[in-house]
Structure 1
């Protein structure tokens, strides 16, 4: 006897309904899922339409080839349109400042080498041996950008070698902290006392170098990248040390770190820049020539390091106590525990805050305009002071904003990639 309600044949697999897959499903779930979302979606569409309706014709009717704002207006013949001819006319100045045009190859080469230097730091699939080039790159970039004797950056590198040699020689005879302090003092003595004299002697014997470019000719996005990249590279390790110092059990170290962090966080960056520009020379020996860009880099780095320390301290506080106990159970000393167990997890937790600090630091480089350095904003003011381009505003600021957006958006995208790659949970 056959049982009619039992299926004897399987039906072929059917595709899901079109309303449950693809763009249709995304629109239903994200834009039209409730009356409030429907209203907000329609309002957003209307706002976008109004912006495109007003800005679109102005952008589409752009003039790219003209020698002045008056010539742009003649070409437009009374119609509304953007005069991007100022970008076509002054893009070199916006990118390089007043750097000699016959030496553009030097900042261009430094930029290409920068990408090579950061690649092994950002992507772990590249050969680890490339990290040696990343360590040497700052000295190569300094020599390419500022020029002068090749012996000076080599003498600075020699200072690190001397400090390391002193550290290695004293490590077996004393504890690690004293060896580190002795190595640092040896390097500082070499840099401030002997490096310049030794490099001058070597230059007189074996002249090696390229034409020097003074800092007053630096400007534009080149200046912003120099300050931003250097501040980012130096503020992260300094911020890590400040965060560890703030959590230290040694009262003196903790007091110094807390005082530094709270002082820097309580003072506006513009005040520190004015201090670097105007007041610092009063505390230096007479005749000392302390480069203004170097002073700005130091102040920007210290400012970012204080905020970085608090971000990393938040990551350290988020770790459960069991991680510290596990490091102790494995018999690891303090530095090995931090390097192998504690700090990797804390940095992973702190990635959004770290990248946010980096982005803020890069945008804050525009504040150097107030101390006389011609960053892109300062150059835009100088360009608008020219009678040929007097009265132009939006086109310059749109270009500058777009360039800053590209850099900042790239950093945010990389942080999201890094978070996905380091994700260890399976939710």
Structure 2
């Protein structure tokens, strides 16, 4: 093993005098950067800005007496994630397989129903004290917006992808126009359109909350890209499989649900998860339309007189939070791929 590693180093990093020199210079720069960064982290950085404002980073101005609501919401989302994961990686145990099969038809409706239920519960449903969405800040708002937008945009993206490949002229061209128009607009523009123009298309007595309009903007944007990712998977399915399924007497809806979609989605798991990760990071733009998510809360904390100028500490901590969630999604997608392949 050691011999193989030495051979690889000699072949890729020290195969000529200039590659050897470049390798040594890069190593010196990396070591110097690490040394200075470690020294700054230990001796110079003022991490009190994170310690003092940790509740603001995580839950913003959400009332402390109602933190139990957040724990319930976290429990609901965790439970749904575990059930969804079990559906995809279920083993060939017959009893477990039958139990999971009973849950499959209810999985998507449950996810969709959980979105308005969570918003209603956090806002003051079930006779609880009303909590304005202006107090929903920080990491909890970032995750909430990302999860709800993912849950809604995923099935809509599948429908758009199927619509773009449909033989019906109106459905196909509507899907094409929507996808191409939305993909030609920047996300920040769509967020401003959702905040300013969306109420113009609704009755005057119906006033959407700023948070709902933010979700609408993210969903409109993400759905178009999700549709193209799914369409790539649909194109990878051989035509012969569809014809064989129809020859067995399966109607077209069942062919799509049982034959086409499982294989298509499996083929584009990396692209879909990449879209989910991008959507999580895109929530940082919500601060530009008045929603104080994690990035917006960071700017509010930096405005505190005792922490003015502590940009490095704040944004390193924020970047670490984003990295943890993004890498967790990437790691989960890789494990899911391995399970489905095996």
**Pair in the same fold by TM > 0.5:** yes
RMSD after superposition: 2.1
The C-alpha deviation readout for 1:364-419, integer Å capped at 9, x for no partner, is: 00000111111111111111112111111001101110000001001111111111
Which residue in the other structure is 2:69 paired with? 106
TM-fit CA distance, 1:321: 2.1
- Aligned-pair distance for 1:27? 2.5
Equivalent in 188, 211, 223 of residue 293 of structure 1: 211
Which of structures 1 and 2 has the larger relative contact order (alpha carbons within 8 angstroms, sep 6+)? Answer: 2
- Structure 1 equivalent of residue 266 of structure 2: 348
In terms of Rg, which structure is larger? 1
Q: Which runs of 5+ in 1 are unaligned?
A: 1-20, 62-80, 151-208
Of Structure 1 and Structure 2, the greater helix share is in 2
Q: Does structure 2 retain, via aligned residues, the 8 Å contact 1:31–1:41?
A: no
Alignment partner, residue 119 of structure 2 = 142
Distance change >3 Å, CA 399–CA 346, structure 1 → 2:
same
1:416 aligns with 2:337: no
Q: Trace 1:347-366 onto structure 2 (pairs within 5 A).
A: 347-366=265-284
Q: In 1, distance between residues paired with 2:184 and 2:4? A: 46
Over 3 Å counting, the alpha-carbon distance change for 1:58 and 1:346 in structure 2 is same
1:329 deviation in Å?
2.2
User: How many Å apart are 1:25 and its aligned residue?
Assistant: 4.7
Task: Work out whether residues 32 and 41 of structure 1, in 8 Å CA contact, stay in contact via their aligned partners in 2.
Answer: no
Superposition pairs of residues 316-327 of structure 1, within 5 angstroms: 316-327=234-245
The alpha-carbon distance between structure 1 residues 25 and 111, as it changes in their structure 2 partners (threshold 3 A), is farther
* TM-score between both structures, scaled by the size of structure 2: 0.88
Question: Could you say what secondary structure the match of 1:141 adopts?
Answer: helix
Q: In the aligned structure 1, how far is the partner of 2:286 from the partner of 2:187? A: 10
| Selected match of 2:9 from 19, 31, 42 | 31
Post-superposition shift, 1:326? 1.9
Mapped to 1, the partners of 2:75 and 2:24 lie a distance apart of: 46
CA distances 1:152-181 after superposition (whole Å, capped 9, x unpaired): xxxxxxxxxxxxxxxxxxxxxxxxxxxxxx
Which residue does the alignment assign to 2:313? 395
Give the unaligned 5+ runs of structure 2. 91-95
The question of 1:55 aligning with 2:37 is answered yes
Matched, 1:120 2:83: yes
| CA drift at 1:114 | 0.9
State how 1:176-215 maps to structure 2 within 5 Å: 209-215=127-133
- Pick closer, same or farther for the CA change 1:387–1:286 going to 2, 3 Å: same
Moved more, 113-122 or 350-359: 113-122
1:277 matches 2:240: no
1-structure distance, mates of 2:248, 2:25? 59
Deviation (angstroms), 1:224: 0.6
Change in CA separation of 1:285 and 1:328 when aligned onto 2, cut-off 3 Å: closer
Work out whether 1:236 is the aligned partner of 2:154: yes
